[in-house]
Amino acid sequence: MLQEPRGGAGNGTATADGRQVSIGTVLALLRDEFPEVTISKIRFLEAEGLVEPERTPSGYRKFSPEDVERLAQVLRMQRDHYLPLKVIREHLDALERGEQAPPLPAEQQRATLDDSGEAAEAEARTAARVGRAELLAAAQVGEEALDEWESYGLIAPTVEDGYDIEAVQIAKLVAELGRFGIEPRHLRGIKASAEREAGLVDQVLAPLRRHRNPQTRTRAEARAQELAGLTGRLHAALVQAALRVRP
């Protein structure tokens, strides 16, 4: 059975004759259009509130045809427009309520990573960089503190002698931790852990990043952000769990 997409977005996705299906069947139904989707991805979208399958008394997920089509729409909007999940959820929820959803971003917001796309991305990254004085002002620290952070490898300028937007966030967090008496030397373990997590993500995404299809390479970068968010949430949860079990 071919379901028409709700809200008129994208193509329909086949379902099993209108019956509720398991997560494994959902994966099989989506794989034709989205070969890189995984069960973990489906579970992640559920955890983010993009879909709410029913549960059997024994706890197994059961997806309706509408659930399958909604998942397909989410994946299309990620693939075609590279939208944050929050924006996608709000857009689809508005359509389901019968409201006029805001238009999706224009075509130029798609990161296709062709020659012009790579140039635009490079330009955007350059525009996001800040100078040393701006970084110091954002973190509300002096030159000496920043020199110390750089000596421990917590922050590093780019080759253009500026700092990217991530460095600004790191600087603010390091400064805040310093107010609790946590010094830069104490953060070397956290940095090493972050580098190991980044290495794991790189290992998972390496086949996609080497793909000849530029859109596939772009999806790899979107997935990198998603995995970074997941590993960050896991790290925070593990720290909280460890603090709870301390005597």
Residues 215 and 236 in one domain: yes
Query: Last residue of a domain, which of 182, 205, 236?
Result: 182
Q: Which of 176, 186, 135 has the alpha carbon at shortest distance from 157?
A: 135
Structure tokens, 71: 């998942």
Q: Tell me if the pTM is above 0.85.
A: no
Q: Does 1 fall in a domain?
A: no
CATH code, domain carrying 176? 1.10.1660.10
Count: domains in the chain: 3
Domain span at 204: 183-247
The alpha carbon dihedral of 185, 190, 196, 202 has a sign of negative
Q: What is the pLDDT along the chain (247 residues), one digit of tens a residue?
A: 333 333 333 444 545 467 899 999 999 999 888 888 888 889 888 888 889 999 888 888 899 999 999 999 999 888 777 677 888 888 888 888 888 766 665 433 443 334 444 444 444 444 456 788 888 888 888 899 999 998 989 988 876 668 888 888 899 999 999 989 999 899 988 888 888 888 888 888 888 777 777 777 777 778 888 888 888 888 888 888 888 876 5
Report the candidate in 104, 108, 78, 116 with the shortest Cα–Cα distance to residue 214: 116
Do 204 and 116 sit in the same domain of this protein? no
In terms of domains, do 78 and 121 share one?
A: no
> Shortest CA distance to 41 belongs to which of 226, 240, 235?
226
Contact 26, 55 (CB under 8 A): no
**What is the reported pLDDT for 62?**
93
